[in-house]
Amino acid sequence: MNRIDQHPVIDQKPPRKTVEFLFDGAAMTGFEGEAVSSALFANGVKKFSEHAKDGAPQGIFCANGQCSQCSLIVDGILRKACVTPLRAGMDLRTVRGLPELPADDSPARPTEVRRLSCQVLVIGGGPSGLAAAAELAERGFDVILADDKEELGGKLVLQTHKFFGSEEDCYAGTRGYEIARILERKVRSYPNVRILANSPVLGVYKDRSAGVYEGYSRYILVDFQALVVAAGARERSLVFPGNDLPGVYGAGAFQTLVNRDLVRAARKVFVIGSGNVGLIGSYHALQAGIQVAGICEILPKVNGYKVHADKIIRMGVPIHLSTTVLSVEGDGKVERVTVAAVDKDWQPLLDTARTYEVDTVLVATGLSPCDEFYRQAVSFGFTAVRAGDAEEIAEASSAMFGGKIAALALAKMLGKDVSIDQAWLDKREVLKSRPGDIIERESVEPGPEWRPVFFCTEEIPCNPCTTVCPTHSIQLAPRKGSIMDLPYFHGTCKGCSSCVAACPGLAISLVRSAGGGVAEVQLPFEFDASAWEPGTKLPLLDQDGAFVTDGELVKKFYNKKYRTWVLTLKAPADKAAKVIGIRVQPEEATRPLPQARYSYLPDNAIVCRCERVTVGDIVSFIRENNVRDINQLKTIRVGMGACGSKTCSTLLPQVFRKAGVDPATVTAGTLRPLMLEAGMGELVNESSGGSDK
């Protein structure tokens, strides 16, 4: 079984009931209630269907209920594996071609749709939705919050790293899944908030009601006066040959499998994209015991926080800049990925191609807002606001403030005498800031007393080190006048290592002289150090991942609050202040094959995954038919698949450009009435309940 039974920062789940099920007739086991997709991954199954068009194998992509790549036949019914809980005795089967409708000659029962009502319906239980619900509840509104997951918190549930930002305002220094629990407990404490967990909103209708798929099993209606749309974001796909092979999926899907469900989803991964999602996803892979062959980024610089990049590089993962993916290949599954450098026009230089043997490729090239419900509500003339990623893609710390601000704006629309604190607006702007300047640090010479050494050189919103220092000796330099400023040391240091353990970027060490040309250095470490004993020799690395010296372990302790090891090592005094990391991955894990192996056929890359329509198909159709309306592409089945065009729609602008058409001149596609699929039986036979105010 591909389970993670030990993790450096995630507690093992309470004992779960093991159940047996069948997959294509083979007996397997999993945990009752876990996602069917996770149970299958744990059993080594990554192919879920064979496409009706050409028999191509299909696997997961988002693991978030947004696409339909993970569809299976579950007890005779086509269902999404990522949102279907496992039960004992389930009969799961690969979808081969178009599934048959099950025989059912029984007439539909006459039923009455269960209805709920509220003043404000909050769509989405991530950081912004939870913050909005709490703010509205504080002001006396009757709130219903509907979310598509059993556990609230959105992407916070998947985040095992410590968050940046302000400790006072957004729990900086706390791990994402712990922040999710804090926010959920707060919202559940309000008697005027009702929560519909594991219940996605399917549609918003003109009579001021929303269709909700309660428990993914029955259809109900919620009547509302106003809406907060905080539905988050979905992962962008990327066009390259082999992008649809089982084993190519979003970084968020990977975090769902690894961090939420504790499934070792891969042996070795390659990551496309160096934004924070790609950098953090790589780090999460290493913590789960999964090798990372490398990260490629088409831009000439890292797209995420430098401290994240520094951290992953010194763990032993290279970041290849000005590099793009040429293709992913394998026999029905991912077996290798080929990348190449690009020229000034972003075209690949094929003579620089290199191939890596991997079983998984993570796409971490950005997110698209899930704002359809907001756009629909506005078109109907409803009172509505959007918050979090549905409004603007940013960090979760910014989303919390965004939820509060959106809630107050809505309260004002509904007649409440409220005002939005300008300080909130200012803090939100800071929290969603792009990284600022790079500022070089002065070198530090170890003295007789402990002293912190800072390896954060890029201005980002972060201040936990200033708030945890017991002597208040770490302060932000007043350059910009916000938490974007870098920390500096002025005062006395007790050597308590709180700053070392709390730093989200693992970018602080402590050093002091031990005499005789030797110094002691305290380093943060978020991997398993339990087996290391005093006297162990460890290779020590600098900020850029270069070897500095070997160090000898003096002592270690585990900071339970921050779930971080602090290691004290001896090193040469002239090198100790340069040390900040320990390599955890061997170099051979990142070596390419001796010769590149690939077929570079860009026109064969899939755009519409559901209907398997390629770049070449669409470009030819656009040119031959003078297409200027995305809806015309439905003629060749683009956007007609089960995901409702949510995946391919973000790729179409670049395809129109390839066809010589300015995307700005093209009419947008029509939104579907229902944003997610629901079983026809649940829609027709809704529920036996009545009104429930």
Q: What are phi and psi of 83, to 5 degrees?
A: -120, 15
3 state DSSP class of 113: coil
Residue 580 is encoded by which pair of tokens? Answer: 């900040």
3 state DSSP class of 426: helix
In the chain, the amino acid numbered 411 is A
Residue 331 is encoded by which pair of tokens? Answer: 């026999």
pLDDT reported for residue 205? 96
- 692 within 8 A of 116, measured Cβ to Cβ: yes
Helices vs. strands in the chain: H and E counts, helices first:
15, 39
- 504 within 8 A of 310, measured Cβ to Cβ: no
- 71 within 8 A of 62, measured Cβ to Cβ: no
How far apart are alpha carbons 292 and 281 in whole angstroms?
Answer: 10
Q: Which residues pair with 606 in a beta bridge?
A: 614
Distances (CA, A) of 575 to 80, 107, 570: 54, 79, 10
DSSP letter assigned to residue 467: H
pLDDT reported for residue 688? 45
The count of other CB atoms within 10 Å of the CB of residue 382 is 17
Cα 464 to the center of its chain, rounded Å? 23
Q: What are phi and psi of 41, to 5 degrees?
A: -60, -40
In the chain, the amino acid numbered 433 is S
- 290 within 8 A of 333, measured Cβ to Cβ: no
pLDDT reported for residue 614? 93
pLDDT reported for residue 644? 87
Residue 250 is encoded by which pair of tokens? Answer: 């979003």
Residue 5 is encoded by which pair of tokens? Answer: 């039974």
DSSP letter assigned to residue 409: H
- Give the strand pairing for 26-31 and 18-23: antiparallel
CA dihedral (379, 384, 389, 395) positive or negative = positive
Cα 56 to the center of its chain, rounded Å? 27
> Among residues 104, 92, 118, which one has the least CA distance to residue 30?
92
Spans of the chain below 50 pLDDT: 687-689
pLDDT reported for residue 109? 73
- Answer yes or no: pTM beyond 0.95: no
Please measure the distance between the N-terminal and C-terminal CA atoms of the chain and give it in whole angstroms: 46
Q: What are phi and psi of 72, to 5 degrees?
A: -135, 165
3 state DSSP class of 314: helix
How far apart are alpha carbons 597 and 222 in whole angstroms?
Answer: 54
How far apart are alpha carbons 134 and 675 in whole angstroms?
Answer: 26
How far apart are alpha carbons 85 and 82 in whole angstroms?
Answer: 8
The count of other CB atoms within 10 Å of the CB of residue 97 is 11
How far apart are alpha carbons 594 and 34 in whole angstroms?
Answer: 41
pLDDT reported for residue 1? 73
pLDDT reported for residue 677? 77
pLDDT reported for residue 687? 46
343, containing H or E segment: none
How far apart are alpha carbons 577 and 615 in whole angstroms?
Answer: 52
How far apart are alpha carbons 360 and 603 in whole angstroms?
Answer: 23
